[in-house]
Amino acid sequence: MRVLVAVKRVVDYNVKVRVKADGTGVDVSNVKMSMNPFDEIAIEEAVRLKEAGVATEVIAVSIGSAASQETLRSALAMGADTALLIQTDAELQPLAVAKLLKAACDRVTPDLVLLGKQAIDDDASQVGQMLAALRHWPQATCASALAATQEGITVTREIDGGSETVALTLPAIVTTDLRLNTPRYVTLPNIMKAKKKPLEVLTAESLGVDVTSRLHIIDITEPRSRLAGEMVTDVASLLDRLKHQSKVI
């Protein structure tokens, strides 16, 4: 089984993001960047499948600027065998990313595609579903457990009121959730080994994919500051505040 894992370079989850003064986007200058946490889980699961003898090869793919090579090297250090960067400086939206991943699938012919259920920068949670539609492959989203079977794989996913387990035939697409695993700590020897692993660089143009934006962001603003709480003396005062100020009654 060949496993393709999509990883994205995002602002580190520990960083408090700031909106640009002109409201055109998030200021990413001089901030720490790292691999999307949900994609780290996908890489970890792919490596575990390889360690269990289920997968034969793990290929990490990223789409973005040249700086995304750093993210791919992190994936290689975690245990991926090879990496592929589809380099572009365009502002990519989920459909364009799905089309580029489809082109990557055409190139490396994976049996299983793993990717995080969402990226923490836009929280779109759309790419996996769109890729499944473009490839006409079965999909399972928000996986909290994954196991290989003779027919393919089974995926357990959390739903309202419990969980469900679905069986997929390969090739298939799975998006990973937080409960699936805990990514391993990357050691220095593996970081050094990752520098010698193959990393191929392509462009969106060479794959013949149109990445033209179809959505236009009008404005980006920071959330409103939370107002300070107010103490009331009794229930009647509380109801009065809710009725006349919050307008919920």
Predicted pLDDT at 134: 95
How high is the mean pLDDT of the chain?
90
The answer, yes or no, to whether residue 247 has pLDDT greater than 70, is no
CB 69 within 8 A of CB 200: no
> What 3-state DSSP class applies to 143?
strand
DSSP H or E run through 131? helix 127-135
The pTM assigned to this predicted structure is 0.83
CB 87 within 8 A of CB 55: no
pLDDT in tens, 152-188: 999 999 888 888 999 999 999 999 999 999 999 999 9
Number of compact structural domains in the chain: 1
Predicted pLDDT at 225: 79
CB 182 within 8 A of CB 38: no
The answer, yes or no, to whether residue 14 has pLDDT greater than 80, is yes
Predicted pLDDT at 249: 47
Note down the domain range covering 14. 2-246
**Bridge partners of residue 153, in order along the sequence:** 148, 168
What CATH code is carried by the domain that includes residue 161? 3.40.50.620
Mean pLDDT value of segment 116-120: 92
The dihedral sign for the CA sequence 5, 118, 35, 99: positive
The mean-pLDDT minimum among 55-59, 153-157, 219-223 falls in: 219-223
